[in-house]
């Protein structure tokens, strides 16, 4: 089952309340998304650690129903 962008965004914000999350469709099928996540909590973390923080927010879904989620993480300027 595809997952709506709003649901993905809500899960990320639940775990990282300060985050800004921008969802961009990669393909127009409501299933392939690019999430741009910016959070001060990423400061001082490696890219792998930053992505793992977002994976943790999405729990078991990542790699399963969310195989087609592309991820960009950044620290706010």
Q: Is 15 in the site for other proteins (CB under 8 A)?
A: no
Q: Is 72 in the site for other proteins (CB under 8 A)?
A: yes
- The whole-angstrom separation of Cα 75 and Cα 29 is 29
Number of neighbours of residue 9 by Cβ within 10 angstroms = 18
Q: Is 51 in the site for other proteins (CB under 8 A)?
A: yes
Which residue stretch of 4-12, 17-25, 44-52 sits at the interface with other proteins (rule: CB under 8 A)? 44-52
**Count of residues near other proteins by CB under 8 A:** 12
Given CA atoms 72, 21, 12, 68 in this order, what sign does their dihedral have?
negative
Residue 74: half-sphere exposure toward Cβ, Cα within 13 Å: 10
Interface positions with other proteins (CB under 8 A) = 47-48, 51-52, 55, 62-64, 67, 70-72
């Amino acid at each position: 089952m595809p997952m709506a962008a709003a649901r993905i965004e809500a899960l990320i914000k639940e775990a990282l309340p300060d985050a800004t999350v921008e969802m961009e469709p990669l393909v127009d099928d409501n299933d392939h998304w690019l999430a741009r996540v910016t959070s001060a909590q990423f400061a001082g973390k490696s890219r792998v650690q930053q992505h793992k923080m977002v994976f943790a927010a999405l729990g078991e879904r990542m790699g399963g129903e969310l195989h087609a989620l592309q991820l960009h993480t950044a620290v706010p300027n």
